[in-house]
Amino acid sequence: MDKLIHDDKGTTTISNDGATIMKLLDIVHPAAKILVDIAKSQDAEVGDGTTTVVLLTGEFLREAKPFVEDGVHPQLIIRAFRIAANLLVKKVRELAMSIEGKSLEEKKTLLEKCAATTLSSKLVGGEKEYFAKMVVDAVTTLGEDSRLSMIGMKKVQGGTMRDSFLVKGVAFKKTFSYAGFEQQPKKFENPKILLLNLELELKSEKENAEVRLSDPAQYQSIVDAEWNIIYEKLDKCVKSGAKIVLSRLAIGDLGTQYFADRDVFCAGRVMEEDLQRVAIATGGSIQTTVNNIVPEVLGECEIFEERQVGNERFNIFTGCPRGQTATIVLRGGADQFIEEAERSLHDAIMIVRRALKNSTVVAGGGAIDMELSRYLRQHARTIAGKSQLFINSYAKALEVIPRQLCENAGFDATDVLSKLRQKHGQGEGALYGVDINTGGIVDTYANFVWEPAVVKINAITAATEAACLVLSVDETIKNPKSESAQGEGAANAMAGRGRGGMAMRGRGGRGMRRR
């Protein structure tokens, strides 16, 4: 299910990405802030499994609560939890299956399965195969350099989800343009591209310069000088052989007209990140001056064109020689919907990147959690002492994932969990998880519900650390001094409303004349 978060400024966000929800909540409780931090860390480290982390931590603490209330020392619980977490990490590594050593095509299909698993719980779940393929294509285009900033996401309202497309290259919205823009050619093959970080328009002097003239005729020479400077700049751009000129700063109407006459395409005020991506993809480098432009600093691509997408125009560079960048153009009805789609794809991209690097996967759909839970229960029986109870409760906490999956799909969790326990207990059902389509159980590995092992390992260690951190606190201390300093200001402000109002009722009001 998704959450709709509404803040003071009136912006509405609809999301079911754990980290996004946690970031947007206005949390005051100090212990709850820890949960926000682990969700953020999971998001940064793996990109997915943020909800899992928060759920597990809450469940670990819930299981530990009765023990603490019965007077067990928290350190004993912490020790047992840590042992359990280490055992689990080892077990996950044992259970994980590697997807190394396959051909690129096979690997792609395997990665698509991982991406589809991530997307299935999101709003775009209905089109998960379509988007999974798109994400895998985008990530594999990057090659070795899998920096997130190399995948651009552009959002255009209108159309359906299916109208979203992937550009193997760079695409950005048409920038603000001046007169003369429409006369420029809108399509080039194998053009040279010049990237600038300076403005090509008439500028008044920045310093308060003062020029004394003895003869009015000299005034013309000063005006001419200004024009000559800009014409010289424009001339150098054209002479460099570039057919496309992009600049981070403005290219004025004079420049636009000048380039249009010479069949050169120009765009000013291009976003910094788009310019960086064009530079990396086309092999050009951004120049801060137009003097002596050598051919080495010009980028190139196979095809440049301006295309209409919805009611926006996009400048699209494809067939880039360095090729290590991709742009996903997302379409959809409402703004919130497109934003949620962007967040979902971000999770999927992170997962595919991780799976490419650490190519081991485990069965998803609660299968791995049930298997770990069974393994811990068995292990707990071999331990003497109190920690047997604690490790048992830790094992019980792991069942929250399959239980939550059943509830979210609208099935009876108790039924499904008993089936799963029985299957895993027999010893051969290690890959069985929740089947959210029928409400039964299914071999999730065979049905390609996979997630990278690194997600699970990270989730278990982060959740255990957070739970232990909360358990290890036995006293909360507030610093009254810092509070009273803040409090006085607030109290004075309140006095007008609160106390003043009270007084009015009590004694006929402060400011009123007594009769």
Q: Enumerate the active-site residues.
A: 17, 50-51, 347
267: helix, strand or coil: strand
Q: Across-strand partners of 12?
A: 6
**Dist CA 259 CA 265 (whole Å):** 7
423: tokens are: 């299957």
What element of type H or E holds 404? Answer: helix 400-409
Distances (CA, A) of 63 to 58, 389, 470: 9, 10, 13
**Nearest CA to 314 among 301, 298, 330?**
330
Query: Residues 6 or more apart from 116 whose CB is under 8 A from it?
Result: 128, 129, 132, 448
Strand segments, DSSP code E, in 310-431 are 312-318, 326-332, 360-363
What element of type H or E holds 299? Answer: strand 299-300
Describe the crossing of helices 335-357 and 104-119 by its angle, rounded to 10 degrees.
140
**Dist CA 25 CA 48 (whole Å):** 19
Residue 69's Cβ-side half-sphere holds a number of Cα atoms within 13 Å equal to 6
**Dist CA 19 CA 239 (whole Å):** 51
**Nearest CA to 136 among 107, 173, 103?**
107
Residue whose structure tokens are 């429409």: 182
